[in-house]
Amino acid sequence: MKTLTRRQRHIFDFLRTHYDRFPTPPTLDELCAALGMASRGSLHKHISALIEAGLVEPSGGHKQTGIRLTRHDKAVTDQDLPFIGKIAAGKPIEALENIHYMAVPDMLKSDKPCYVLQVQGDSMVEAGIFDGDWAIIEQRSYADNGEIVVALIEHYEATLKYIEQTPDKVLLIPANAGFATMAYRPEQIEIQGVLIGQMRSYRTLLSK
């Protein structure tokens, strides 16, 4: 499946969540208003990418008549969350953004948008987070000190760590005595979400 940008995923998730609120397939103008987007041209490009990915389709054969979800997407249940790749619990690695879906129990989610990342590395083992675990992340751009966050470093590398923030410094703290705390300036770090749950396959652990 085509890799989606963060903005395209946001539009797609909005359609999945709110599609039933529209009495007819929403037009680009209606979606612009609902999403609070000023540029119809920008939305047109994002919708074209979703059509190319096979997630939505034009109603009546062209976008002007409305956008509807495809049958492929309608098979996705309310328990499914987007799984967007691997996140480092160790040396930072790039978080992948190949969109798939995973079934996640309601008790592990919140009422805010969430997504799933698979942990790679062992720098968080003392917090009970192991290589191969699936981390359920509540998508938000802020966190309290002491929370475990997905931190994007220098707009490129993502990692899963405890966070401590002051006006002039951000510390990303591992939960493994063999790893060092990483210090950054606030402008170097973008919080992409906070850990709220995790899942584990013991078959994966036993096979290592």
Which residue, 49, 74, 99, sits at the end of a domain?
74
Total of domains in the chain: 2
| 87 shares its domain with 116 | yes
CATH number (domain holding residue 21): 1.10.10.10
* Torsion angle defined by CA atoms of residues 174, 179, 185 and 186, in that order, rounded to the nearest 10 degrees: -10
pTM: 0.61
| 145 within a domain of the structure (yes/no) | yes
pLDDT for 101 equals: 72
- Helices then strands, counting H and E runs in the chain, come out as 5, 11
pLDDT for 103 equals: 79
| 39 shares its domain with 128 | no
Does residue 201 have an active-site annotation?
A: no
Which residue, 57, 74, 91, sits at the end of a domain?
74
The strand pairing partners of 83, in sequence order, are 100, 116
Minimum mean pLDDT range among 67-76, 101-110, 155-164: 67-76
Closest CA to 12 of 95, 97, 73: 73
pLDDT for 208 equals: 55
Which residue, 19, 53, 74, sits at the end of a domain?
74
| 91 shares its domain with 59 | no
Residue of 42, 110, 161, 201 marked active site? 161
Average pLDDT score, the chain:
83
| 58 shares its domain with 99 | no
| CA separation, residue 45 to residues 50, 80, 149, 167, 191 (Å) | 9, 26, 31, 38, 26
| 14 within a domain of the structure (yes/no) | yes
| 28 shares its domain with 111 | no
* DSSP assignment letter at 167: T
pLDDT for 93 equals: 52
Per the model's pLDDT, the better-predicted residue between 187 and 66 turns out to be 187
pLDDT for 59 equals: 77
| 87 within a domain of the structure (yes/no) | yes
| Mean pLDDT confidence for 108-114 | 85
CATH number (domain holding residue 165): 2.10.109.10
| 106 shares its domain with 163 | yes
Residue of 109, 123, 141, 201 marked active site? 123
| Mean pLDDT confidence for 143-157 | 92
| 89 shares its domain with 60 | no
- Percent share of the chain, pLDDT over 70: 83
| 168 shares its domain with 95 | yes
Q: How confident is the model at residue 74 (pLDDT cuts 50, 70, 90)?
A: very low
Domain span holding position 45: 6-74
| 182 within a domain of the structure (yes/no) | yes
| 68 shares its domain with 88 | no
| 98 within a domain of the structure (yes/no) | yes
| 69 shares its domain with 116 | no
| 86 shares its domain with 177 | yes
Is residue 136 classed exposed, middle or buried when 0-12, 13-18 and 19+ CB atoms within 10 A define those classes?
buried
| 1 within a domain of the structure (yes/no) | no
| 65 shares its domain with 134 | no
163/60 Cα distance (integer angstroms): 49
Q: How many CB atoms lie within 10 A of CB 73?
A: 19
Does residue 207 have an active-site annotation?
A: no
| 43 within a domain of the structure (yes/no) | yes
